[in-house]
Amino acid sequence: MLISPHMDLGELAQRMGQDATHEDAEYLRDVLCETNPDEDTADIPSNVWQRALRTALALQLADELEERMGRPLDELIDENGNPIVCDYQIAFAKTDGSFDVVRQFQSSSDDEANEYAEQEFPGTEWYVLRDGRNINAR
């Protein structure tokens, strides 16, 4: 099968293995189009194919992580692969539209910050701020 942006994703998913999805094939197609454009998949050496599969999986996982965390990967992980911790505040709204910060803490994800706020102030209307911006309200 000729590698191109228009290659048959169903056929590529079959070549990847029985558990591969259409989405998996999209990621692999993108990798192959960059690394082996206009080649036939049958001519790609096994080690190159395996590297392309690993790269496609890594890109897919990175996209899923960004979506789950609500931030781009470069804001989540430093150049050494360590999580980046951000400063968060839990605040209540004042009648003039400003915020009254009642707790400051650090977390590596918006989801964790919201869970912490829910545990600390259950049943109340609070806001979680990161970099002074509201990321969620309850």
DSSP string, 59-103: HHHHHHHHHHHTS-HHHHB-TTSPBPPEEEEEEEE-TTS-EEEEE
Residue 59 CA to its chain's centroid (Å): 9
pLDDT at 54: 93
Cβ–Cβ under 8 Å, residues 52 and 20: no
- Name which of 79, 81, 61, 80 is nearest 69 in CA terms: 61
| pLDDT tens per residue, range 87-114 | 888 888 877 877 788 888 888 778 888 8
| pLDDT tens per residue, range 7-52 | 999 999 999 999 999 999 999 999 999 999 999 999 999 999 999 9
Distance of alpha carbon 29 from alpha carbon 101, whole angstroms:
48
Within 10 A of 63 (CB to CB), how many other CB atoms are there? 13
pTM over 0.75: no
pLDDT at 137: 55
- DSSP strand pairing (127-130 vs 99-107): unpaired
